[in-house]
Structure 1
Amino acid sequence: MDLRERSIEIIKENQDASGAYIASPNFENYQYSWLRDGSFIAYAMDRVGEVDSADRFYRWVAQVIAAREEKVRDLIGRKQQGLPITPQEFLPTRYRLDGSDTNDNWANFQLDGYGTWLWGLAEHIKITGRKELLDRYQKGIALTVDYLLSFWTEPNYDCWEEYVDLVHPSTLACIAGGLERINQYLERADIGATVKAIKSYIKDHFVHNGHIVKANGFTGVDASLLWMAVPFRLFPLDDPVLKATVGRIERDLFKKQQGVHRYLQDTYYGGGAWILLTAWLGWYYLLERRVQEAIRIKEWIEAQANDRGELPEQVPINLNQESTYQNWVEKWGPIAQPLLWSHAMYLILVDELTTALTNR
């Protein structure tokens, strides 16, 4: 089975008519569309030539955000007046496929998806050459930018939907990366100043023993810190703090070189090895021209697909805490499979690897 072609097929099969990508079709709690997951999925589809699929997602997001103009302006106004805002009042991180709110108690205040959408849209415009999308989606873009400029310093849930009371460098990477990328078209001074402030804030507040930490209050790393290097390029690849951060991820979270774990204290389904994070490390290796290591990662990912060519969210090996694995199975069922984000990151890795091998 050609896993590349199967991955494209799975993503296309699970894109709603609205343009939204469902996170996982057979895992009850993931039958929604996340802006973070969806933006990386759309980017992967752009990379493999399925630009119509990506365009439909970006259009869906632009419409979803534009429809909440009154809410965004109200939130920004309350912030300026110093009024309290509870986490559930912010824009949600996931939506129903028709674009409506979920109205549940999910960990909804996450800013990373909004930054990632700006980054993905800018990449889509670059790949397709369709600069007219800047005008077509102007309202959604402007609202997202203003929302992020207003709230980037606020503690909010991380990309794993945890620790709402903390500030997370990987979230800041998504915000700064999205703002910086879209500002290549907007050329707004306030955006440029905020990006510069975020980069300084990370270096000033989240460096411990020479590397960036998962969040304030942590001394260890989170594999999502790879986003600092790729795709958001917050710091040069030869930056000593960035290199030390990746080195710590390799040492602590790339257990037995059998998949990358989220962070050492992770107990979700026991804290197994995540497909998408493993692909991310392979993506980073290719930037560093560590091609053979990237090839081994690709082969390991391919070995995790089931007989239907479906990749899971994570693989229950080298668990951080084995005792919690069965608890999650009993609570939510088996690990999500397929996870569209896993397939997307595999596609990106394959495309990057193909380019690297072609240019050798």
Structure 2
Amino acid sequence: MNTTTDLDAVAALAARSVTLIESLQHSSGAYPASPTFSAYQGYSWFRDGAFIADGMSAASAVDSASRFFDWCDRMLAERREQIAEIVAAEAAGTPLPDDAMLATRFTLDGVEGSDDWWDFQTDGYGTWVWAAVTHARRHGLSIARWQQGIRLSVDYLLATWRRPCYDWWEEHRTEVHVSTLGCVIAGLEAAADADALEPAVADAARAAALEARALITERGVHDGHLAKWLGSTEVDGSLAAVIAPLGVIEATSPLGRATIAAVESTLSVDGGVHRYLLDTFYGGGQWPLLTCFLGLAHHASGDRASAVRLLHWAAGTVTSEGLLPEQVDDHLLAPERRQEWLDRWGPVATPLLWSHAMLVRLAVELEVLQPAGARA
């Protein structure tokens, strides 16, 4: 097929992805991570869901995105007392243990799951605030609709952002991760700039964001590029998101360009992006959603050709049923470890709504998918 036809096919896949996400969204507003994958079934993550909502918002599925933010707002309001206890303990110099922190995922109807999980992650509580503020600005909506949840998230983040926690991949609990800090910074700055906070709280949010930025510069950079965690020399595919769509690091800055180059050269093989070099989850495959994040970063840097190339790769992972997986096994980093995960949880999560949403987000950014009028 020629390039035009290829892009037409990608646009059609992106449009179907919007429809698929809408069809699977729970009546509560939560987005299921994957409707059939054994370990994710019945759960929604603040982080994954926020990026899904941002993709839907960019595609003008306004009501769908708004209903997810309604869900986030409600989850936080229902945990107001827990957040107050966390904040008070931090202020008193007696921080609560990790297992007393907010969960990272909830059932679709809004309760903590009963099964064990790697639960303490702060990234989602920054990401949803950034996504909600971005959504409101994009579509001329009032942020007051989610103001309560935003205020509670900021209180929670101000109390917890310095703490080590699990990363995006629910690993390495003892580290402070640069992509997590990026999500926190984006949320704090968005909240402060949206007039969603009292002046003193907005000032505190800006001060914390500045401190987190300084921490990244001082300890989260290696050889000119962002590092996986503070003090690390490695890269991680999630770092591309800190550049775009979060915009915490300017894509055209020396740090932004060096990070894009490091992710590309270290983790991308024939277009598909790995999580990190020591990944063994399902053998350590390539992730469509990370490929789209790198595509967004390339496009923000002015390199449209690379962004289009990565969009094509992500679209090429679609199954015969029209579904995008969490990862593919064309180029495994640890093939000997694949079977243990198949035995534990079954086949790779397919569909993964986050994969579909990131393809949508990149397709809209590249104007491959033209959003119609607001979808109710």
Interval containing the TM-score (normalised by the shorter chain): over 0.9
Using the size of structure 1 for normalisation, the TM-score is: 0.95
Could you tell me which runs of 5 or more consecutive residues in structure 2 were left unpaired when the two chains were aligned: 1-8, 371-376
2:254 is matched with which residue?
Answer: 240
2:194 is matched with which residue?
Answer: 185
Answer whether contact 1:285 1:293 (CA < 8 A) is retained: yes
Which of 307, 313, 317 is the matching residue for 2:320? 307
The reply to whether residue 229 of structure 1 matches residue 243 of structure 2 is yes
Which of 4, 16, 21 is the matching residue for 1:6? 16
Answer whether contact 2:44 2:105 (CA < 8 A) is retained: yes
Could you tell me which runs of 5 or more consecutive residues in structure 1 were left unpaired when the two chains were aligned: none
Answer whether contact 2:34 2:350 (CA < 8 A) is retained: yes
The reply to whether residue 47 of structure 1 matches residue 61 of structure 2 is no
> In the TM superposition, what is the alpha-carbon distance from 1:129 to its structure 2 partner?
1.2
> In the TM superposition, what is the alpha-carbon distance from 1:4 to its structure 2 partner?
1.5
Q: Distance in 2 between matches of 1:269 and 1:87?
A: 27
Q: Distance in 1 between matches of 2:83 and 2:166?
A: 18
1:103-122 maps to which residues of 2 (within 5 A)? 103-122=114-133
The reply to whether residue 18 of structure 1 matches residue 32 of structure 2 is no
1:336-351 maps to which residues of 2 (within 5 A)? 336-351=349-364
> In the TM superposition, what is the alpha-carbon distance from 1:250 to its structure 2 partner?
0.9
2:166 is matched with which residue?
Answer: 157
Using the size of structure 2 for normalisation, the TM-score is: 0.91
> In the TM superposition, what is the alpha-carbon distance from 1:356 to its structure 2 partner?
11
2:297 is matched with which residue?
Answer: 284
> In the TM superposition, what is the alpha-carbon distance from 1:44 to its structure 2 partner?
0.9
1:148 is matched with which residue?
Answer: 157
> In the TM superposition, what is the alpha-carbon distance from 1:219 to its structure 2 partner?
1.3
Find the residue that maps to 1:336 and give its secondary structure: coil
Answer whether contact 1:156 1:163 (CA < 8 A) is retained: yes
Q: Distance in 2 between matches of 1:276 and 1:354?
A: 18
Which of 39, 42, 64 is the matching residue for 2:75? 64
Which of 264, 282, 286 is the matching residue for 1:269? 282
Find the residue that maps to 2:194 and give its secondary structure: helix
- The residue type paired with residue 279 of structure 2 is D
> In the TM superposition, what is the alpha-carbon distance from 1:195 to its structure 2 partner?
1.1
Q: Distance in 2 between matches of 1:355 and 1:8?
A: 14
Q: Distance in 2 between matches of 1:295 and 1:139?
A: 39
Q: Distance in 1 between matches of 2:155 and 2:305?
A: 43
> In the TM superposition, what is the alpha-carbon distance from 1:241 to its structure 2 partner?
2.4
- The residue type paired with residue 32 of structure 2 is I
Q: Which moved more, 1:159-168 or 1:4-13?
A: 4-13
Answer whether contact 1:261 1:271 (CA < 8 A) is retained: yes
- The residue type paired with residue 102 of structure 2 is L
Answer whether contact 1:40 1:344 (CA < 8 A) is retained: yes
1:131-146 maps to which residues of 2 (within 5 A)? 131=142, 133-134=143-144, 136-146=145-155
Q: Distance in 2 between matches of 1:128 and 1:14?
A: 23
- Runs of 4 or more consecutive aligned structure 1 residues displaced over 6 Å after TM superposition: none
Q: Distance in 1 between matches of 2:209 and 2:119?
A: 24
- The residue type paired with residue 248 of structure 1 is A
The reply to whether residue 82 of structure 1 matches residue 93 of structure 2 is yes
> In the TM superposition, what is the alpha-carbon distance from 1:84 to its structure 2 partner?
4.5
Q: Distance in 1 between matches of 2:296 and 2:234?
A: 22
- The residue type paired with residue 325 of structure 1 is R
1:325 is matched with which residue?
Answer: 338
Q: Distance in 2 between matches of 1:356 and 1:274?
A: 21
> In the TM superposition, what is the alpha-carbon distance from 1:211 to its structure 2 partner?
1.9
> In the TM superposition, what is the alpha-carbon distance from 1:355 to its structure 2 partner?
7.0
Q: Distance in 2 between matches of 1:16 and 1:222?
A: 31
> In the TM superposition, what is the alpha-carbon distance from 1:296 to its structure 2 partner?
1.8
Cα deviation digits, residues 62-109 of structure 1 (max 9, x gap): 011001000000011112222242222110010000111113320110
How many percent of aligned residue pairs carry the same amino acid?
Answer: 41
Answer whether contact 1:286 1:294 (CA < 8 A) is retained: yes
Which of 213, 217, 223 is the matching residue for 1:203? 217
Cα deviation digits, residues 307-359 of structure 1 (max 9, x gap): 111000001122111100111111110000000000000001110111799xx
> In the TM superposition, what is the alpha-carbon distance from 1:301 to its structure 2 partner?
1.6
Q: Which moved more, 1:166-175 or 1:187-196?
A: 187-196
Answer whether contact 2:235 2:262 (CA < 8 A) is retained: yes
- The residue type paired with residue 138 of structure 1 is Q
Find the residue that maps to 1:30 and give its secondary structure: coil
Q: Distance in 1 between matches of 2:223 and 2:58?
A: 37
Q: Distance in 1 between matches of 2:258 and 2:337?
A: 31
2:141 is matched with which residue?
Answer: 130
Answer whether contact 2:245 2:296 (CA < 8 A) is retained: no
Answer whether contact 1:285 1:294 (CA < 8 A) is retained: yes
Pick 1 or 2: higher relative contact order, CA cutoff 8 A, min separation 6: 2
1:33 is matched with which residue?
Answer: 44
What RMSD in Å do the two structures reach over aligned CA positions?
1.6
Q: Which moved more, 1:224-233 or 1:81-90?
A: 81-90
